[in-house]
Amino acid sequence: MAILEITSDQLRQIGYYKMMRTFLMFPRKGWHIRVDHKPVNQRGDHSLQLKNSKGKLTDNRGYKIRSFHIKRDNNSSFISEIEGNYFGKKIVIEDSKYVYFVYAGGGVWQPIWGYGKLEEKHKGETIWRPDNTEIDIDTWGFACKNARWFLDQMTKATKCEHGLACGPIRGAQAHLFSQL
């Protein structure tokens, strides 16, 4: 599988991001872009401190990335009117949609699949969850529009062209986490 090497200086040019141990998060209101990075060496480090042209260590770090996803949240809540343990309690509906993209190489990013996750929760405890759901055309459109924006920013930051391949290679029923 292809890997894109990118630096923290380049990532900052794309936009504000949060650094986590195994991924980078570009948060937005109601949605985010999560970039998964892979170990950069045999020890399993997920970033590598880079040197300048004189061989001196810098604050710039190097990452290896292979995939990202766009997650869109449409959350709401209600007060339960159904008799039982949750009567009169606040129930939060977490409706999340995910679309995954993998790096195919040569600046090409392939959308591979998407799915929806719907849960009802009370104080963080899941009280109802159906099977994962298909995503609709609007979700695909939203994800691809924002992926194009992200890849346009990546093109500017890396000075190498990045773009989307046509269409997903798998549907919502695919289980490709091992490929991400």
Sequential DSSP letters for 11-44: HHHH---EE-SSEEEEEETTEEEEEEEE-SSTT-
Please tell me the number of Cα atoms within 13 Å of 163 on its side-chain side: 3
**Rounded to whole angstroms, how far apart are CA atoms 1 and 173?**
22
For the chain, which residues make up each domain, given as ranges?
Answer: 4-179
Closest CA to 111 of 152, 74, 134, 145: 145
Interval 69-86 mean pLDDT: 90
Task: Using DSSP, state whether 100 is helix, strand or coil.
Answer: strand
**Rounded to whole angstroms, how far apart are CA atoms 85 and 112?**
41
Interval 92-105 mean pLDDT: 92
Please tell me the number of Cα atoms within 13 Å of 22 on its side-chain side: 4
Strands (E), 52-162: 57-73, 76-79, 90-105, 108-122, 125-128
Residues 159-180: pLDDT tens digits? 999 999 876 655 544 544 444 4
In the predicted model, is pLDDT for residue 158 greater than 80? yes
**Rounded to whole angstroms, how far apart are CA atoms 162 and 156?**
9
Residues 27-68: pLDDT tens digits? 999 999 999 988 777 777 767 767 777 878 778 888 899 999
**Rounded to whole angstroms, how far apart are CA atoms 137 and 68?**
19
pTM of full prediction above 0.75: yes
Q: Per the structure block, which two tokens stand in for 41? A: 């060496």
Interval 109-123 mean pLDDT: 89
Residues 137-149: pLDDT tens digits? 899 999 999 999 9
Reported as type and span, the H/E element at residue 144 is helix 137-158
Please tell me the number of Cα atoms within 13 Å of 129 on its side-chain side: 12
If you average pLDDT over every residue of the chain, what do you get?
Answer: 86
